[in-house]
Amino acid sequence: MAAYTELDFEEINQIVGFYDLGTLLDFIPLSLGISNSNYQVEVKNKGIKQKFLLKVSNDKGPQQLHKEQVILQVLKKLNFTYSICCLETKDGNMIYEHEDKVGVLFPFVEGIPPGPSDFTCKEIGRGLAELHSLDLNGFVDEIRDQSEVGYGPQDILDFSNSDECPTDFKSFFNRIFEDQLKEFLGVHFQTGLIHGDLYYDNTLFDNNKLKAILDFEQSGLGALIFDIGISISGTCLEKGRIIRPLIKSFLIGYESVRPLPLEEREFLNHSIILGLFSIALWRVKRFTLGNLDPTMADSYMELIQRAINFKNSMIELKRSPF
């Protein structure tokens, strides 16, 4: 499927027809998303106008999309206030399938995607900690393992030693992790439900307060510290670089809900860098080795360069700032 799935009025009207929503009035293509094509659709039902977010998956099949919606349903049952559940079709399905297209329909949530700042980092840190603190007793069997949709530390290590790994990816990984992650992988970190891709642009804010956490496509059961590293690596940024003051703000928010255990604090820097390599690997799989968007074939190096810069800043500091 192409990098962006273009739909016309008639196609969107057919998809909206799967739901009991009324008459399609208009739609607006949204530029947000890489693995999804997003549309704001407006309908009218019994004189009332409503907006919805129509998502078309560019690289996931029905089974993966369904498992994502199951997680969102669990979050609703657990009263997690920052997630949004999809609408069900007239047939009671959480996803729709139309010709070669598959996707979901969400209520449209008004809000502002934030930029990196102290209050943004603090709010996102707090929201992530609330996710990590959920009691999953009774729901664990319903939730997929994050390894089904994302790339964890072991996956990154294995890929770096594979023949298909780009030379620069392999070289920089080995330079940063000279011990081949032996020490990191030897620790039994706490696990729970992780988001897997909580960058600041996967959130919505209202009056400087976190309103919604979006795109649980990479979510599942996994190590909490790895999720923290991913989130910091894509949130605590200034001019494309991860900076320590924003990390501290993130941790203030996070630890107001869930204090970091000693072992997580000790390996936080590792997790931030691994978070960058994880998303870099995601890009390699889809853009370099895959055909989701060939123009982004080298985009993984942006994240690896960010990892190198962060590693160098730690060397210059000669100690952990946390």
Q: How many domains does the chain have?
A: 2
Any domain includes 60 = yes
190 shares a domain with 69: no
187 shares a domain with 92: no
The CATH number of whichever domain residue 16 belongs to comes to 3.30.200.20
Task: Compute the distance between CA of residue 264 and CA of residue 143 in angstroms, rounded to an integer.
Answer: 23
303 shares a domain with 222: yes
Any domain includes 1 = no
Residue at a domain's end among 50, 84, 107: 107
Which has the minimum average pLDDT: 54-68, 117-131, 138-152, 191-205? 54-68
Mean local confidence (pLDDT), 184-210: 96
Residue 1 predicted with pLDDT over 50: no
255 shares a domain with 185: yes
Which has the minimum average pLDDT: 35-39, 162-166, 277-281? 35-39
151 shares a domain with 65: no
Residue written as token pair 């630890």: 255
What is the H or E stretch that residue 54 is in?
strand 48-57
160 shares a domain with 100: no
The CATH number of whichever domain residue 289 belongs to comes to 3.90.1200.10
Confidence band for 115, pLDDT divided at 50, 70 and 90: confident
Domain range holding 36?
9-107
Any domain includes 253 = yes
Task: Compute the distance between CA of residue 169 and CA of residue 150 in angstroms, rounded to an integer.
Answer: 17
Confidence band for 321, pLDDT divided at 50, 70 and 90: very low
- For residues 178 and 293, the model is more confident at 178
Q: Which residues contact 22 (CB under 8 A, 6 or more apart)?
A: 43, 44, 45, 46, 50
Task: Compute the distance between CA of residue 39 and CA of residue 33 in angstroms, rounded to an integer.
Answer: 11
Quick: pLDDT tens for 16-69: 999 999 999 999 998 666 678 899 999 999 999 999 999 998 778 899 999 999
Phi, psi of 92 (to 5 degrees): 85, 15
Kindly state the percentage of the chain with pLDDT values over 90: 85
42 shares a domain with 71: yes
Crossing angle of helices 268-283 and 167-176, rounded to 10°: 170
Cβ-in-10-Å burial (0-12, 13-18, 19+) of 69 comes to: middle
Any domain includes 4 = no
Mean pLDDT for the chain overall: 93
Task: Compute the distance between CA of residue 209 and CA of residue 234 in angstroms, rounded to an integer.
Answer: 18
Any domain includes 271 = yes
Residue at a domain's end among 68, 88, 107: 107
Residue 171 predicted with pLDDT over 80: yes
- For residues 226 and 208, the model is more confident at 226
- For residues 34 and 250, the model is more confident at 250
Residue 10 predicted with pLDDT over 90: yes
Q: What pLDDT score does 118 carry?
A: 95
125 shares a domain with 54: no
Residue 40 pairs with which residues in a beta bridge? 28, 53
Any domain includes 79 = yes
307 shares a domain with 203: yes
Residue 4 predicted with pLDDT over 70: no
Closest CA to 247 of 259, 258, 235: 235
Task: Compute the distance between CA of residue 106 and CA of residue 40 in angstroms, rounded to an integer.
Answer: 10
Task: Compute the distance between CA of residue 320 and CA of residue 309 in angstroms, rounded to an integer.
Answer: 15
Crossing angle of helices 118-132 and 244-255, rounded to 10°: 40
Mean local confidence (pLDDT), 266-289: 96
192 shares a domain with 299: yes
Whether the CB-CB separation of 234 and 310 falls below 8 Å is answered with no
Quick: pLDDT tens for 55-84: 998 778 899 999 999 999 999 999 999 999
Residue 316 predicted with pLDDT over 90: no
Q: What pLDDT score does 292 carry?
A: 77
Residue 111 predicted with pLDDT over 70: yes
Whether the CB-CB separation of 235 and 126 falls below 8 Å is answered with no
Any domain includes 63 = yes
Taking the CA atoms of 236, 250, 202 and 197 in sequence, report the sign of the dihedral they define: positive
133 shares a domain with 32: no
307 shares a domain with 197: yes
- For residues 213 and 314, the model is more confident at 213
Residue at a domain's end among 60, 83, 107: 107
Any domain includes 24 = yes
Quick: pLDDT tens for 224-238: 999 999 999 999 999
Residue 223 predicted with pLDDT over 50: yes
Burial 156-184 (b: 16+ CB within 10 A, else e): bbebbeeeebbeebeebbeebbeeebeeb
